Structure 1
Amino acid sequence: MSNLRVGSAFDAHQIQAGKECWIAGILHEGQDGCEGHSDGDVVSHAIVDAVLSACGLGDLGSFVGVGRPEYDGVKGVQLLGELKALVGKHGFLVLNVSAQLIAQTPKMGPVRGECERVLSEALGAPVSISATTTDHMGFTGSGEGRAAIATALVQV
């Protein structure tokens, strides 16, 4: 039996006018952010869910709960740090994560390296980021929301 496990995840949030835009671990000035109990970072949230899935440890809701005041506005990179400790406690090591933002904004090309560095440092494993649009179709294409998918490889 292999000691490698894979998890995948999807996250989506509506865009909220006037909220800071935290995507893939960094602040994107001049963009509206995503609604949510936390910072609304769909990329970080998808990564958390993918890692938890690979480890068989549930999902973001079971990890931090819903409506807990200590997580009001929590940043995605903080969640990744807590995730790293949790999976380590359960005997898992995150080997790498690939995540993709699905949105019209923000543009990831100019900040991809910074996002990968910040997320990799927080998780303690290599994180690669890509981005795509839906050519103005659906809720991500119309600018109503953003989504992200992620795949994680962990070792037991």
Structure 2
Amino acid sequence: MNRVGIGYDVHQLVAGRKLILGGVEIPHPTGLDGHSDADVLLHAICDAVLGALGEPDIGNFFPNTDPRWRNAPSKVFLQEAARQVVFHGGKIINVDATLIAEAPKITPHIQAMKFNVAEALGINPSRIGIKATTNERLGFLGREEGMAAMAVASVDLPENYGQS
């Protein structure tokens, strides 16, 4: 049975933090604020995968009140989401994600991001779509106060998944 999940994440940009997107460190004067590395792209993908399973969001598995996850690489979260799929007898079919940011330019980093996501999920990079767009200078994203990401994941699960 094919299941689909949707994920979304947003973080504020602040001085003094590295900018990590899709597991790639990108040169930028500000970085995303958060308990972990605040990688909005990986967080959105993680929530999409967990959503396809009908599981709670990333915060349920990795609460920001737990010091173990302080500055943790978000790739760890994505790997756990993939383990949950396998544990339930499923496989990830594909992931598509969009990063929303005015700057920096994301296109030069997309292939590296796709590789990181594919590696964390244990699937071929051809099954990963990553795009970037701006918010047309509108709202807090347009004022470069933060970045957001949206993702969708398709997961194939056994027909009896979720039945007691």
Residue of structure 2 equivalent to 1:121:
119
TM score, norm. by length of structure 2:
0.90
Which piece of structure 1 moves more, 54-63 or 78-87? Answer: 78-87
Conservation of the 8 A alpha-carbon contact between 2:96 and 2:128: yes
Whether contact under 8 Å (1:31, 1:106) holds in the other structure is no
Counterpart residue number, 1:68: 66
CA 138–86 in structure 1, closer or farther in 2 if over 3 Å, else same: same
Q: Which letter does structure 2 place at the counterpart of 1:103?
A: A
Once the two structures are TM-superposed, the CA of residue 123 in structure 1 deviates from its matched residue by 1.1
CA distance, structure 2, for counterparts of residue 6 and residue 136 of structure 1: 31
Residue of 80, 90, 97 corresponding to 2:88? 90
Deviation of 1:30 after TM superposition, in Å, equals 3.1
CA distance in 1 between partners of 2:23 and 2:144 (Å): 20
**Which region of structure 1 is more displaced relative to structure 2, 94-103 or 74-83?**
74-83
Distance 2:104 2:77 in 1: 22
> In structure 1, what residue type is equivalent to 2:69?
Y
Q: 1:36 aligns with which of 28, 34, 37?
A: 34
Q: CA deviation at 1:33?
A: 1.1
Q: Any unmatched runs of 5+ in structure 2?
A: 158-164
Rg larger in structure: 2
Partner Cα separation in structure 1 for residue 128 and residue 68 of structure 2: 26
CA deviation vs aligned residue, 1:48-94 (integer Å, no higher than 9, x gap): 00000011111111121231111111112121112211221122211
Which range moved further: 70-79 or 40-49?
70-79
CA–CA separation in structure 2 for the residues paired with 1:67 and 1:92: 30
Amino acid at match of 2:42: S
Give the equivalent residue in structure 2 for 1:13: 11
Unaligned runs of 5+ in 1: none
- Asked if 2 retains the 8 angstrom alpha-carbon contact of 1:94 and 1:153, the reply is yes
Q: Cα RMSD (Å) of the superposition? A: 1.1
**TM-score for both structures, normalised by structure 1:** 0.94
Structure 1 range deviating more: 59-68 or 134-143: 59-68
- Does the CA-based 8 Å contact 2:64-2:70 persist in structure 1? no
Q: Moved runs in structure 1, 4+ residues, more than 4 A?
A: none
